[in-house]
Amino acid sequence: MPDLKADLKRWQETALKRTLDRSPERKQAFTTDSGIPVKALYTPLDNPESDYQQQIGFPGEFPYTRGVYPSMYRGQLWTMRQYAGFGAAEETNRRFRYLLERGSTGLSIAFDLPTQLGLDSDDPLAEGSVGRVGVAVDTLADMETIFQGIPLDRVSTSMTINATAPILLAMYIAVGEQQGVAQTQLTGTTQNDILKEFIARGTYIFPPEPSLKLALDIVEYCLGNVPRWNTMNIAGYHIREAGADAVQELAFTLADAITYIERARERGLAVDEFAPRLSYSLGCFRDIFEEVAKYRAARRLFARIMKERFGAKDPRSYLFRTFSGSCGSTLVSQQPLNNIVRVAMHALMGVLGGHQAIHTACWDEGYAIPSESAAQIALRTQQILAHESGLANTTDPLAGSYYVESLTNEIEKRARAYLERIDAMGGMLEAIESGFISREIQESSIRYQKSVDSGEKIIVGLNKFQEQETDQGAAAMDLFQADPAVEGRQKAALSAVRAKRSQEEVASALSELAAVISRNENVMPVVIRAVKAYATVGEITGVMRSAWGEYRSPAYI
């Protein structure tokens, strides 16, 4: 037998060439969705086998390419964590119970924008937004209602909350206490990833420095007090949704993580104390192999950073534990039922990628808050993959694919190069403040749009295979209608709480908060005191606003 290299060359020059001479390939060049060149064929030459232990290894062991736990889904399936929340607390409570009764194993709360931005429902700026994109929470009373009949020692709850995360976590702790569940038993996650708000999602309130301080207050407080809590979910998902490609998504997520870890160490926390409680999120976009390679590269690159850069010793510090989900931007309003298929592919990449928790989007999300039936299909999609497909029978089944291993290496290499550029700029905060990150994302976003315009990227139903439809589907759909009365009801409930509480205790807690801020101490204990006194989200944030001011990010177009 000739050696492989010579044999490959022979095949390319004979068999392949003869075929291509007769009928050329469909396109001039093939790339991944993010523009990484893809060859016609991958062979062992692309991944020298000698690298196995160093590059791939075993699940649950360094460098974690194959998964963060040794037994992965054979031991325990991923958490099916459906994102929900809308209207007032009662409605979200009903939707949560609906999902739990149907086998959902974790909750994920969407908050409305006023709650995310520290505004009460009766603030003039909140008008029109109360209970729209998530549930409205003004005081502890709302949080009590959301979790009525849901024992906090039996579910884990993920909260998509950033600028006001200390307040919402404080409320969750207080509800737990009322239910007789100690904070040491609580499990769940606060997103608490403020850096990506400055570059992608926009729900920042304070300037970067005090914003980072608040985020780290949660990390520090939970260390001793809420030890099972995931203090941060450092999210690439939103960066991807803002237009970044797969490599940027990974690189910027890790650059954010590096910044938090450096800041935590500056506070005197040891990396092996807090790093095990950090969690991560990456999106599920379109290109299955690229996404799986991204997840595998993420685990490996992160573990290497923790070891090489931060000298972490506890293996739990190396784990890039992830909650990932459907990128809503891949969903298409035209012929919307096709989205069910897209979401099934998202779940497929998530499972092949070895995530700890997965969210599947609802096919009608492009129109409205998902209807109950759409939410059910999204959950069932995960259950079908878990129980009917054989996907969960072995760990990291794409390992050893010449293509996927090669792509994993390539993505790690490209992400590393970005990290080096960011380091050279002085770190992620500087890269964000100089506009570099926003501009990089914007360029990718425009590139993507242009390739859709030109038809180079095909989106079924949008730029190819269109139907003549005015608004097919949408008219026939059982669409969720936002209840216009929610805002009024929420305002009335807020007035009632304000009237009933002890004003002295509220005032005293708020002035103590101001003092804690001026002494630059951890705000968590006094925020917990304030929420227990039924101080509102707006009042607590107001104290912080007076101390730190508000930030307005420049817009790069």
Partner 1 sequence: MNDVGNRKIRVLLAKVGLDGHDRGIKTVARYLADAGMEVIFTGIRSTPEQIVDAAVEEDVDVVGLSFLGGDHMTLAPRVIDGLRRRGLQVLIVLGGIIPQRDIPALEQTGAARVFLPGTPPDRIVQFIRGSLEQN
Angle 548-544-193 from CA coordinates, rounded to 5°: 85
Only segment of 48-56, 119-127, 315-323, 384-392 that touches partner 1 (CB under 8 A): 119-127
Among 479, 497, 514, 547, binds partner 1 (CB under 8 A): 479
467 part of the interface to partner 1, by CB under 8 A: no
Among 88, 194, 218, 242, binds partner 1 (CB under 8 A): 242
d(CA 78, CA 391) in angstroms, rounded, equals 12
119 part of the interface to partner 1, by CB under 8 A: yes
Give the chain's radius of gyration (CA, Å): 24
Among 38, 337, 392, 462, binds partner 1 (CB under 8 A): 462
Strands (DSSP E) found in 26-103:
79-84
Nearer to partner 1, 94 or 439 (CB): 439
460 part of the interface to partner 1, by CB under 8 A: no
d(CA 49, CA 67) in angstroms, rounded, equals 19
Closest CA to 273 of 350, 238, 221, 320: 221
Nearer to partner 1, 122 or 410 (CB): 122
Which residues are CB-neighbours of 140 under 8 A, at least 6 positions away? Answer: 171, 174, 175, 531, 532, 534
d(CA 139, CA 539) in angstroms, rounded, equals 10
| Interface characters, 353-372, with partner 1 (x: CB under 8 A) | -------------xxxx---
Among 63, 114, 166, 370, binds partner 1 (CB under 8 A): 114
Q: How far is CA 535 from CA 171, 483, 485, in A?
A: 11, 26, 24
Q: How far is the CB of 494 from partner 1 (least distance, A)?
A: 17
Only segment of 10-18, 236-244, 272-280, 381-389 that touches partner 1 (CB under 8 A): 236-244
128 part of the interface to partner 1, by CB under 8 A: yes
Which two three-digit tokens encode residue 272? 């092996």
Q: How far is the CB of 269 from partner 1 (least distance, A)?
A: 30
Nearer to partner 1, 154 or 552 (CB): 552
Nearer to partner 1, 216 or 369 (CB): 369
Q: How far is the CB of 444 from partner 1 (least distance, A)?
A: 10
31 part of the interface to partner 1, by CB under 8 A: no
Residues 397-436 that bind partner 1 (CB under 8 A): none
281 part of the interface to partner 1, by CB under 8 A: no
Which two three-digit tokens encode residue 505? 């205790």
Q: How far is the CB of 343 from partner 1 (least distance, A)?
A: 16
Which two three-digit tokens encode residue 415? 């992400």
1 part of the interface to partner 1, by CB under 8 A: no
* DSSP bridge partners of 464: 460
Only segment of 23-31, 138-146, 168-176, 238-246 that touches partner 1 (CB under 8 A): 238-246
Phi-psi region of 180 (alpha: psi -120 to 50; beta: other; left: phi over 0): left
Among 329, 373, 376, 508, binds partner 1 (CB under 8 A): 329
Phi/psi of residue 284, each to 5°?
A: -110, 110
- The sign of the dihedral angle between the CA atoms of 20, 21, 25, 28 is positive
Which residues are CB-neighbours of 174 under 8 A, at least 6 positions away? Answer: 140, 143, 528, 531, 532
Q: How far is the CB of 496 from partner 1 (least distance, A)?
A: 24
193 part of the interface to partner 1, by CB under 8 A: no
Only segment of 23-31, 281-289, 376-384, 449-457 that touches partner 1 (CB under 8 A): 449-457
202 part of the interface to partner 1, by CB under 8 A: yes
Among 100, 150, 425, 474, binds partner 1 (CB under 8 A): 474
172 part of the interface to partner 1, by CB under 8 A: no
153 part of the interface to partner 1, by CB under 8 A: no
Among 51, 209, 471, 521, binds partner 1 (CB under 8 A): 471
Q: How many residues are given for the chain? A: 557
Closest CA to 325 of 304, 348, 293: 348
Which two three-digit tokens encode residue 230? 């995931």
376 part of the interface to partner 1, by CB under 8 A: no
d(CA 121, CA 114) in angstroms, rounded, equals 7
Closest CA to 151 of 229, 96, 191: 96
Angle 225-231-232 from CA coordinates, rounded to 5°: 170
The residue type of 342 is: R
Nearer to partner 1, 310 or 548 (CB): 548
133 part of the interface to partner 1, by CB under 8 A: yes
Among 442, 457, 508, 525, binds partner 1 (CB under 8 A): 442
* DSSP bridge partners of 81: 106
127 part of the interface to partner 1, by CB under 8 A: yes
77 part of the interface to partner 1, by CB under 8 A: no
d(CA 85, CA 106) in angstroms, rounded, equals 13
- Residue pair 306/421 in contact (Cβ under 8 Å)? The answer is no
Closest CA to 150 of 116, 105, 87, 86: 105
Interacting residues toward partner 1 by CB under 8 A: 113-114, 116-117, 119, 125-129, 132-133, 197, 201-203, 241-243, 329, 332-334, 366-369, 442, 445-446, 449, 452-453, 459, 462-463, 471, 474-475, 479, 482, 552-557
